[in-house]
Structure 1
Amino acid sequence: MSSISDGNVHAPEHRETKPSQGDPARPVSELFRLDHRTILITGASGFVGTTVAVAVFESGGDVVCMDVAPTPTASNWSDVENAAKKHGAQLSYYSLDVTDENAVAEQFARFIPTLRYPLKGLVACAGLSLDGPSTEFPVDRFRRMLDINVAGTFLVARAFARELIRANNSGSVVLVASMSGYVTNKGVDTAGYNASKAGIHQLTRSLAAEWGSRVGIPLIRVNSLSPGYIRTAATAGALQKPGIENQWIGDNMLYRLSTPDEYRAPVLFMLGDGSSFMTGSDLRVDGGHCSW
């Protein structure tokens, strides 16, 4: 674990926020705020993870980042550190293999006592995408994707829910799925990845059903985000294939690829109280790709 920035942190101050519910007296400006809350982000060294972390700081929250590397590897990690300092926020980073059940429990036990605000949100970005013809695709690589994308997401969401139940706090979970959970991707062979993201859609609905209506536990809302194609270093290789960029651009109604910053507001909406009556849903932000 490394503590990157702790802003103006003193003794832990756990100020509980109200359970997520409608309140017509609250100003609209507060509905995207995350003041006095800690948000956990897995896959935090990815472009979406770092972008969301900065957005959480701008909205008043603290952030715990987790990724598999021992230290942050994102090329824009300095942006995350600078945002934490600018907003007087607490930022920490922990190495975690989300597929390791014991490691998940151990890291939660390590970071929970360090928080100044209660854990109230989870953004599960950790994932793996591998492509190749299904007739030759190794089953161990297929299983690896399912293990990270589905089982790993489940393990972190379960640990998050257990902590909220222990502390009797409400909260919100955002599982990063994909439009590829609805449709196949023209020009690339990604059967395993697509299957794993369809699994996230169903996991979202199932966890939402359990944690939104069970008597005796606090309300935990669970929703998913399904991005469209994003222009990042991770997609740069695929875009080098002849015709792929034009294919992907032409496959959506806005005729362009998205950028990571375009997922800030959707994630903040699902984390915050503006989405108080939303659970078990998927927010598709795909430029209309799936609506043809």
Structure 2
Amino acid sequence: MSSPKNVNVHDPQYREAKAPQGIAAVPVTELFKLNDRTVLVTGASGFLGVQVSTAILESGGDVVGLDIVESPSTEVWDKSHLLETAKKHGRKLFYYPCNVRDEAGVAAVFEKISAAIEHPIRGLVACAGRSIAGPATEFSPDDFRSVVDLNLTGTFLVAQAAARAVQKSGLSASFVLVASMSGYISNKGTNTAAYCASKAAVHQLARSLAAEWGSRPGIPLIRVNTLSPGYIRTVATAAALARPGLEAQWTGDNMLFRLSTADEFRAPVVYMLSDGSSFMTGADLRVDGGHCAW
């Protein structure tokens, strides 16, 4: 059993009318499917973006990947077999180069997306982000702006454009903004004030958007939540981990005594995108190995 196509299962009247025979009786396994919906993924050529895209395709959704590069790197995109995964599950996979900090560029890309997709946009996973390390007394304003512009402004611009598309469709949606445990704490052993500040701002952005786009008469519901990963072992963190003692410090600072891998965030993201998290909005899902729980 599955819920009817393109129905707002979050609508109180629908839930009351259908329970217990309808949505309340849907098996749990069905609640985590993303059938008949398109999900946007920014930072799609990165390690986290690729893992998230794979999970969405495997869960029945179509994926539109966005990133600043003209085409995804073969090192990440091809070796992950994304195209094969899409074909295996009968899903559509699109990729568009997009600088998420450019308002006009984002608008232009969304026009292309709307003309290409088969199913309406029902989800967003904003993975695009960057960090620049350096002592605050010497950190240049340009570098600070660069970090905040991508991590915060870029996330907002894509969320804004996606919300407009959702409102045109009249259907519900779920957005996942990738923040970080660094939005709660300072990164011990490295100077990343701009990054930490930007990720704390993403937490607040999500709460504010969730409040604006909550269920109101005549306005499609958009749930907005954040995912806060702990340290992830990727090529991007390899340089930092090469510093003497830093890996031991980072692994020792969480309760699982190891770093995460990008694939460990697939299930949390699918949960937040799906109807399985239907009563979750304005919240943060911290997946940090217990780092912030000491």
Short-chain TM bin: over 0.9
Q: Once the 2 structures are TM-superposed, how far is the Cα of residue 24 of structure 1 from its aligned partner?
A: 2.0
Conserved? CA contact 1:46–1:74, under 8 Å = no
Residues 139-167 of structure 1 show CA distances to partners (whole Å, capped at 9, x for unaligned) of 10000111110011000000010111111
1:32-82, Cα deviation, whole Å (9 max, x unpaired): 100111100000011110001111111011100000001112523122112
Of 162, 165, 179 in structure 1, the residue corresponding to residue 164 of structure 2 is: 162
Query: Aligned to 1:33, what secondary structure does the other structure show?
Result: coil
Calculate the aligned-residue CA RMSD, in Å.
Answer: 1.1
Counterpart position of 1:92: 94
Query: Corresponding residue for 1:56?
Result: 56
State how far apart, in whole Å, the 1-side matches of 2:105 and 2:74 are: 22
Q: Normalized against structure 2, the TM-score is what?
A: 0.92
Equivalent position SS for 2:94: strand
Task: Tell me, yes or no, if structure 1 residue 43 matches structure 2 residue 43.
Answer: yes
- Corresponding residue for 1:4? none
> Matches of residues 206-285 of structure 1 in structure 2 within 5 Å?
206-285=208-287
CA distance in 2 between partners of 1:51 and 1:230 (Å):
13
Q: How far is 1:17 from its partner?
A: 4.0
Return the alpha-carbon distance in structure 1 between the equivalents of residues 209 and 8 of structure 2.
22
For the 8 Å contact 1:17–1:36, the answer to whether it is kept is: no
SS of corresponding position for 2:64: strand
Q: Distance in 1 between matches of 2:115 and 2:236?
A: 34
Instruction: Name the residue aligned to 1:6.
Output: none
Q: CA offset at residue 177 of structure 1?
A: 0.0
Residues 215 and 222 in structure 2, CA contact (< 8 A), matched pair in contact too: no
SS at match of 2:213: helix
- Deviations along 1:216-268, one digit per CA (max 9) or x if unpaired, are 21000000000000000010000000000000000000000000110000000
Provide closer, same or farther for how the CA distance between residues 44 and 218 of structure 1 changes in structure 2, counting only shifts above 3 A. Answer: same
- Report % sequence identity: 60
Which residue type is aligned with residue 193 of structure 1? Y
Partner of 1:189: 191
Residue pair 2:225, 2:281 contacting (<8 A) in 1 also: yes
Return the letter of the residue paired with 1:141.
Answer: D
**Mapping for residues 7-22 of structure 1, pairs under 5 Å:** 15-20=5-10
User: Which residue is equivalent to 1:174?
Assistant: 176
Q: Distance in 1 between matches of 2:271 and 2:66?
A: 22
Q: What is the CA–CA distance in structure 2 between the aligned matches of 1:159 and 1:74, rounded to whole Å? A: 28
Is the 2:254–2:291 contact (alpha carbons within 8 Å) kept by the matching residues of 1? yes
Structure showing greater relative contact order (alpha-carbon pairs closer than 8 Å, 6 or more residues apart): 1
- The letter for the 2-side match of 1:128 is R
Equivalent residue, structure 2, for 1:200: 202
1:159-195 alpha-carbon deviations (Å, 9 max, x no partner): 0101111111110000000000000011000000000
Gaps of at least 5 residues in structure 2 are: 16-22
Q: 1:267/1:239 Cα in 2 relative to 1: closer, same or farther (>3 Å)?
A: same
- SS of the aligned residue for 2:24 comes to coil
Corresponding residue SS for 1:98: coil
SS in 2 for 1:36: coil
Alignment match, 1:25: 25
Alpha carbons of 1:246 and 1:74: their partners in 2 closer, same or farther (altered >3 Å)? farther
Match of residue 138 from structure 1:
140
SS at 1:206 equivalent: helix
Letter of the aligned partner of 2:206 in structure 1?
Answer: T
